[in-house]
Amino acid sequence: MKRYGEDLEEKKIERYAEIIVAKKMGFDLSAIKKYEKGQVYMQGEYTGIADIDKALKEAGGKPEKCKLWEKGGEGLGKAQPEYIVTFDKYKDYVIVVECKSSVKMHESGNTDSPKGYAVDGVLYYAKFLKKYFNTIAIAFSGSSEDTFEMTCFLWPKQESNPYYIPEGRIEFHEPEWYVKEAKRVYKEEQINKEKYFSKKT
């Protein structure tokens, strides 16, 4: 059990992680239009986009435990990822970002602890957003630009499983890069599938 004040301190440190992400991805959080090629919605901010708000409501508050293939959505309230990014050009894509204050809270290993870990949490959100969008999920953990972990996925619209984006773990990029890289990874995966099944026939 956490002692009094520990949650508050953890949230304060987590805010550093959010600031690092915003800085490195080129968000201007003081502006009305926080990203020149789209928009950035901060935690709890109303997007006015029906499908995004519907997905976040369906997700509800992050549960302590929920396996990736389980339905989820029983939590009270509305999901609140750190950032959601939309695009003027790529209307069928969104980016969802989840941050944690420590690299120890990056990934559970079983992807079944959305509340406690960045990867688990961002994939939990993506599971609902992918009903309506091609969803790029970015998990960031750490409170320093020198010591952090980052993992990225593409969860294609209405597909059953997410795809890992290897290049997304090395360094930050502006949001459009993630869309282009996600498209490249997806195309490569489809080619590999075709090759695999052609060998089976």
Q: What is the pLDDT of residue 120?
A: 97
Query: Which residues does residue 136 pair with via DSSP β-bridges, in sequence order?
Result: 95, 154
Q: How large is the average pLDDT for residues 100-107?
A: 94
pLDDT at position 76 is 76
> For residue 198, what pLDDT is reported?
63
- Tell me the average pLDDT across 99-104: 93
- Span 170-183, average pLDDT: 94
Decide if 107 contacts 139 (C-beta within 8 A).
yes
Q: With a cut of 50, say whether residue 93 has pLDDT above it.
A: yes
d(CA 96, CA 138): 6
Q: Is the pLDDT of residue 201 over 90?
A: no
CA-CA distance, 140 to 2, in Å (whole number)? 23
Interval 17-52: pLDDT, tens: 999 999 999 999 889 889 999 999 999 999 999 999
129: confidence class by pLDDT, cuts 50, 70, 90:
very high
Residue 145: Cβ-neighbour burial (10 angstroms; 0-12, 13-18, 19+): exposed
Q: How many CB atoms lie within 10 A of CB 187?
A: 10
CA distance 90 to 106: 29
Global pTM value: 0.90
Q: Hey, what amino acid is at 94? A: V
pLDDT surpasses 60 at 127: yes
Q: What is the mean pLDDT of residues 142-163?
A: 93
Lowest pLDDT segment from 4-8, 60-64, 106-110, 146-150: 4-8
Q: Which amino acid is at 31?
A: A
Three-state secondary structure call for residue 112:
coil
